[in-house]
Amino acid sequence: MALIYDNRPYKTRIKECLADDFKVAAIKKAQDVFYDKRNTVVADVPEWLDFRAEAAEIRDHVLNHLDYYVNQFAENAEKAGSKVHFAFDDKEATQIALDILRQREAKMIVKSKTILTEEIGLNEVLEEAGIEVNETDLAEFILQTAVSPPSHIVVPGLHFERNKIREIFAEKLGYTGTENPTEMTHFVRGYVRERFLKADVGVNGCNFAVAESGTCTIVSNEGNGRMASSIPKTQLIFLGAERIVPDFKALDVMMEMLNRSAVGAKISNYFSMMTGPARAGEADGPEETHIIIIDNGRSGILGGTFQEMLRCIRCGACMNICPVYRHISGHGYGSVYPGPMGAVLTPLFKGYEVAGDLPYASTLCGACTENCPVAIPLHELLMEHRHIMADIEKTRPKAEEAIFTAAAKMFGNATLFDLGTKAGAIGMNLISNKDCTVPCHKAQGGQWKNVFLDQGYMTDEYLTPDYFRWLYTAFTRATGTLYLVNYPEEQIV
Ligand code: SF4
């Protein structure tokens, strides 16, 4: 799967997602569960905000000295016996992997969950070359079997109902059991265990690479990562160039932030550290370890307006709170990186022509920023994308520019605003009912209105003839700017 897996227009994608009742309900439920769990474990750490500031500082320090830490990591990894490769982009990364596999005449690989390999489209390249790819993380296994893109970076199979999973397993793998999750999990376990034993190569990602020792780490809630990284004789580890920490002390801080933010747990079920292949006398571990360090657009972000985005530790906390993600789900973004982090990152990797709609998939409420364990100012970066597209690259439609120029004039001038609201009131009177309410279907704002309503930013009482009050509040929320007019404060929710 490439970084962008759905090239259809943004509106087509979100219409489809919004019409999928199961998906919308599943995302809402998951968000609520993750939100509560995260809050509980974060509340256990009174120094959470200090940790958060420290984590952001560590990430900034590494990014500001990335050349140094990449070299230090590579040197130490080679000293520990790994072979380090550098890939400028996705093509180079997949070619390096393919060459290694071909040299070993590999026919089959097992993979643990790694979103970076989805970013570079590794599976497709290997499958085209006739190599059998086996995802071994349960959710990734379901997606691979169903041929479906992920809808979340931590829980990618969120959009599947258990009876649908049973159907897919029955149809494609001959499963004859019930839709009981434990029974289905046992079935998958049996299926992938055989592959672990037969696979020529294990493919893994790396949550954090430790520069001082050349160690790669895998955080996982299933044991598959440990098996994929220790049973096959050859090991490939894909590492995003920015995912480095200087030392184990820094790793400790990052792990504290990652586990609590990602799944609302104090620790993960499994945490593996790999420093080179197995040494003489060790009972298990690979005979050779290759680490492919991938740039793929990251160096272009470094040193610029969006550098803070490279702090991202892929915990998914920003999408677990985002009101837009809640409605359009991961598939609305069409990118393997969905939610607020994806809306910032995808245009940086693919450009505005391909992903220019994504920065608009946000209410700019700032909840993502607040939830981010490394304090990435996500809503400000989304705003910056909009600013660049509107004012510098002029990529937005002319009509939109004219409307917003006029709106800015109106909202910036008390007299014009007053006239506008009066004209609006006349307009609303024309479309309102006898009881002076505006039928929902006539109110403007489309799906955004539903987002505001659902999040409790708006209530139905705002759908009155004084419609501009509703629009005003929505606009204030959407732009993050409080326009000073004479509305009573309690009505600006
Ligand atoms: S942007 Fe922040 S909250 Fe979102 S995935 Fe990255 S680290 Fe987590």
What is the per-residue pLDDT across 329-342, written as a single tens digit (0 to 9) for each?
Answer: 999 999 999 999 99
Q: Taking the model in full, what pTM does it have?
A: 0.84
Q: Is the CB of 106 under 6 A from ligand 1?
A: no
| Confidence label for 463 from pLDDT (cuts 50, 70 and 90) | very low
288: CB partners within 8 A, 6+ apart: 83, 233, 234, 235, 277
- 485 versus 57: the higher-pLDDT residue is 57
The pLDDT, as a whole number, for residue 490 is: 46
Cα dist from 269 to 224, 238, 335, 373, whole Å: 11, 22, 28, 20
Q: CB of 338 within 8 A of CB of 353?
A: no
Nearest to 241 by CA among 288, 310, 307: 310
Top mutation candidate among 59, 208, 219, 318 for ligand 1, by most atoms within 8 Å of CB: 318
- 253-287 burial, b for 16+ CB within 10 Å, e for fewer? bbbbbbbbbbbbeeebebebebbbbbeeeeeebbe
At residue 99's C-alpha, the angle toward residues 94 and 102, to 5°, is: 120
Q: What is the pLDDT of residues 5-16, one digit of tens each?
A: 999 999 999 999
Distance 259 CA to ligand 1 centre (A): 12
> 70 is written with which tokens?
């990449």
Residues 114 and 282: their CA atoms lie apart, in Å, by: 27
Choose among 445, 483, 456: nearest CA to 367.
Answer: 456
Q: How far is CA 88 from CA 92, 214, 241, 300, in A?
A: 6, 20, 10, 11
* Mean pLDDT of all residues belonging to the chain: 88
Separation CA 53–CA 51 (nearest Å): 5
Residue 119 has pLDDT above 70, yes or no: yes
User: How far is C-alpha 178 from the chain's CA centre?
Assistant: 32
Q: Which pLDDT belongs to residue 484? A: 37
| Residue 134 zone, left/alpha/beta (φ > 0; ψ -120 to 50; rest) | beta
- Does the beta carbon of 376 sit less than 6 angstroms from any atom of ligand 1? yes
Task: Please say whether the beta carbons of 196 and 134 come within 8 A.
Answer: no
Q: Is the CB of 317 under 6 A from ligand 1?
A: yes
Ligand 1 centroid, distance to 316 Cα (angstroms): 5
* Residue 493's pLDDT band (cuts 50, 70, 90): very low
- Residues 154-176 have pLDDT tens digits of 999 988 989 999 999 999 999 99
Q: Cα–chain-centroid distance for residue 238?
A: 18
